[in-house]
């Protein structure tokens, strides 16, 4: 009797345990179903931040990241990554979709109604415009500061008194601060020697500040009376700015110091007078050198000396003409200031030049532009031409164009500090502002051209 009672109690106890287990299982299943229902029905979308998501794990969505269409990435690229990867598109199964939040740099999964959903996110290298493309496109909307000139080449130029055309090509001073340049414009039909001499459109830029005052050229006392030779292909300032490959020999003074960030002596007066010069913090950086194109420059000039002819358009044609800076004095019988034996040329192949007189002339803007373009640049100190020209220098500044004269072969055009074009002896110390053409593969990746936020550049990969 006692045994039967014990067996009966044991059966009841097992029944209670089974019922309890069933209740626990039922509650667990209910909670799981509720969680699934809540995840996929009540919360149809949620943000996903940076980072790798393990294959499902505790989540019901799995992310896979790609560069291009097939290069699998271990994790999602961070915002501002060095590879310049940007979100392109996404693909999800089970009817889900991705809405990309650029500011948060995060995907938002939408229509997530099924468990175990896979989403593939595709990233592409950001396509930046080349410098030529950028300025050309900008000129379509910014017609105040950018305008095509009236030459046959129809170059696009920055014009006016104040323009946001600052650009950073990688130069840094001794403290790591950017050394800025400014964009003259997009020049068409330039022979790019890096591309076999092909005629291209290239962006032309000028150093924002002078690198110092030096002779355009100096000479011994017996050559042109010591006042220099007005032939760019052998000019001392050309040798200062460019690598030795563009000229013969290695001058003891000035040669390639700017190009090589060197220090030494530079010519600064007649009869080969010189002074110390140091470009270790102001010369070209290696990054900047890689962005400079080697091109064919024009070094022609007028047939005769006459200030009345110096309009921007006439000067532009003369720069591309067949006359040089010596023929007028030679035709007049020469003399001791016309006695050099340097061969004259009207083109030159190299990396760094100076601005042309016509560059200065065509930079004029404002409501006086048409008036000024009809005037000789010798008179740009009137009619407010100089105050509406952003290329007006703070001091006398050399151009790279020789000037003819009846009695000597050593005159060169320069821009006066008052804002008009004039000519002077090559041996005189004037400001030097290097000018280069950017490689056609240089891209603009950031900035708006303001001095504090200049255009930033990058070579195409």
Rounded distance between C-alpha atoms, residue 93 and residue 321, angstroms? 68
Rounded distance between C-alpha atoms, residue 134 and residue 183, angstroms? 12
In degrees to the nearest 10, what's the CA dihedral of 11, 13, 16, 17?
Answer: -110
Length of the chain: 461
Comparing CA positions, the residue from 53, 49, 71 lying closest to residue 62 is 53
Q: Which helix (H) or strand (E) holds 181?
A: strand 181-192
Six-digit token pair at 418? 């008052």
* pLDDT tens for each residue of the chain, 461 residues long: 443 443 454 555 555 555 655 655 555 544 444 444 333 333 334 444 334 444 444 567 889 999 999 999 999 999 988 888 999 999 999 999 999 999 999 999 999 888 889 999 999 988 999 999 999 999 999 999 999 999 999 999 999 999 999 999 999 999 999 999 999 999 999 999 999 999 999 999 999 999 999 999 999 999 999 999 999 999 999 999 999 999 987 788 999 999 999 999 999 999 999 999 999 999 999 999 999 999 999 999 999 999 999 999 999 999 999 999 999 999 999 899 999 999 999 999 999 999 999 999 999 999 999 999 999 999 999 889 999 999 999 999 999 999 999 999 999 999 999 999 999 999 999 999 999 999 999 999 999 999 999 999 999 87
Give yes or no for a contact between 211 and 282, defined as CB atoms under 8 angstroms apart.
Answer: yes
Rounded distance between C-alpha atoms, residue 379 and residue 358, angstroms? 14
């Amino acid at each position: 009797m006692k045994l039967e009672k014990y067996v009966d109690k044991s059966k009841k106890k097992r029944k209670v345990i089974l019922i309890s287990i069933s209740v626990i299982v039922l509650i667990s299943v209910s909670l799981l179903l509720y969680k699934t229902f809540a995840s996929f029905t009540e919360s149809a979308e949620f943000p996903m931040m940076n980072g790798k998501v393990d294959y499902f794990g505790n989540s019901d969505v799995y992310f896979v990241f790609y560069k291009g269409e097939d290069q699998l990435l271990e994790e999602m690229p961070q915002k501002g990554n060095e590879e310049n990867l940007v979100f392109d598109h996404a693909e999800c199964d089970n009817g889900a979709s991705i809405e990309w939040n650029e500011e948060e740099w995060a995907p938002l999964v939408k229509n997530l109604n099924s468990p175990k959903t896979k989403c593939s996110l595709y990233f592409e290298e950001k396509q930046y415009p080349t410098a030529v493309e950028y300025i050309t496109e900008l000129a379509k909307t910014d017609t105040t500061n950018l305008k095509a000139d009236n030459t046959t080449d129809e170059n696009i130029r920055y014009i006016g008194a104040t323009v946001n055309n600052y650009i950073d090509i990688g130069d840094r001073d001794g403290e790591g601060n950017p050394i800025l340049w400014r964009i003259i414009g997009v020049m068409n039909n330039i022979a790019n020697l890096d591309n076999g001499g092909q005629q291209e459109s290239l962006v032309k830029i000028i150093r924002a500040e002078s690198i110092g005052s030096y002779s355009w050229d100096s000479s011994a006392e017996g050559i042109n009376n010591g006042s220099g030779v007005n032939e760019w292909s052998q000019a001392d300032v050309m040798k200062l700015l460019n690598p030795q490959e563009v000229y013969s020999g290695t001058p003891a003074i000035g040669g390639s110091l700017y190009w090589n960030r060197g220090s030494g002596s530079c010519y600064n007066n007649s009869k080969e007078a010189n002074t110390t010069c140091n470009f270790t913090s102001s010369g070209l950086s290696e990054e900047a050198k890689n962005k400079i194109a080697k091109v064919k420059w024009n070094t022609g000039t007028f047939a005769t000396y006459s200030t009345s002819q110096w309009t921007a358009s006439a000067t532009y044609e003369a720069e591309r003409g067949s006359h040089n800076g010596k023929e007028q004095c030679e035709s007049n019988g020469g003399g001791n200031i016309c006695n050099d034996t340097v061969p004259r040329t009207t083109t030159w192949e190299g990396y760094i030049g100076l601005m042309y007189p016509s560059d200065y002339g065509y930079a004029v803007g404002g409501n006086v532009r048409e008036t000024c373009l009809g005037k000789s640049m010798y008179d740009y100190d009137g009619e407010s031409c100089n105050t509406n020209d952003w290329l007006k220098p703070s001091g006398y500044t050399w151009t790279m164009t020789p000037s003819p004269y009846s009695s000597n072969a050593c005159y060169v055009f320069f821009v006066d500090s008052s804002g008009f074009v004039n000519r002077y002896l090559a041996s005189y110390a004037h400001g030097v502002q290097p000018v280069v053409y950017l490689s056609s593969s240089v891209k603009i990746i950031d900035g708006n051209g303001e001095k504090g936020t200049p255009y930033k550049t990058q070579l195409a990969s």
